[in-house]
Amino acid sequence: MKKYRILNVDINYSSYDYFVEKILRQAINNRPFKMAPVASHPITKSFFNKSLKKALDQFDMVLPDGQSLVWAANILYKANIKERVYGPELFNRIVEKCQEKDIRVILYGNHTGSLRNKIKREFKKLKVTAFEDLKGREIDIAMQSRLLGELKKYKRSILFVGIGSPAQHLFLANLKGIKIPSVAVGAAFDFKVGFKKQAPDWIQNLGLEWFFRLATEPKRLWRRYLVDAPLFVILVYLRKLSLIKG
């Protein structure tokens, strides 16, 4: 595993197998551990937003979900990284291993009821607990406090949070006192239950998932891909030229 600093955030680069094994080990040993695959836009936002930067710093591992973060490591450090760690794919691989290792999967976010049913059909022996079907509702303090109280009951479990970025990073950074690991998985829940369309593999392999998602959700994602993404590229080149720190 290698770690590279991209715009003041430490990003961990390794294989899916490494990260899956890491989070499973924490679950088996009932240890708190926060993992977050991220795309470029929360990294860009955190460069200007101290609260978000502080939240990301509280994660034990931040992973390169977006191809742009692979590109950035290669540009800045000649890292020769080949593969990103895609949140929805990481989620699927961890869930599969959880059944093998008798580890409970805990879901918090959007469409958790439908997601629980779908996962149980695929993995009949898997223990699955689903909290709150948010459907776009804001997370309030009472909701967070209630979840925290419930999570303290569980051992040998992994909490998955799928409420979008950067909300999920701020949420998990503030969720303290639990003894199980947690993973922020972005749109993985929506993709898994079919609520949102996932880019075909060939589009992802070309690094054009951003274009597919922009085309399918222009109203919600235009700023992410037409403002934050180009700004990320500019900031990386400014860093390459030593015109900014990070």
Which residue has tokens 């690991």?
A: 181
Shortest CA distance to 187 belongs to which of 96, 72, 87, 44?
87
Confidence category of residue 241, pLDDT binned at 50, 70, 90: very high
Q: What is the pLDDT of residues 16-70, one digit of tens each?
A: 999 999 999 999 999 999 999 999 999 999 999 999 999 999 999 999 998 999 9
pLDDT at 131 over 80: yes
Q: What is the pLDDT of residues 164-197, one digit of tens each?
A: 888 899 989 888 888 999 999 988 888 888 878 7
Confidence category of residue 138, pLDDT binned at 50, 70, 90: low
Domain locations in the chain?
A: 2-240
Shortest CA distance to 195 belongs to which of 111, 139, 71?
111
So what's the pLDDT on residue 136?
Answer: 54
Confidence category of residue 111, pLDDT binned at 50, 70, 90: confident
Residues 6+ apart with CB under 8 A from 240: 75, 76
So what's the pLDDT on residue 220?
Answer: 83
Is the pLDDT higher at 221 or at 36? 36
Q: Cβ(131)–Cβ(107) under 8 Å?
A: yes
The C-alpha angle with vertex 236 and arms to 228 and 242, in degrees rounded to 5, equals 140
Strand order in the sheet with 157-162: 61-64, 33-38, 181-184, 157-162, 104-109, 128-133
Strand pairing of 2-6 and 9-13?
Answer: antiparallel
So what's the pLDDT on residue 78?
Answer: 95
Shortest CA distance to 126 belongs to which of 105, 107, 151, 153?
105
Identify the weakest region by mean pLDDT among 18-32, 131-145, 191-205, 225-239.
131-145
Give the SS3 label for residue 68. helix
Alpha carbons 162 and 178: distance in angstroms, whole number: 18
pLDDT at 143 over 80: no
* Mean pLDDT estimate for the chain: 90
So what's the pLDDT on residue 137?
Answer: 56
Identify the weakest region by mean pLDDT among 73-87, 113-127, 161-175, 197-211.
197-211
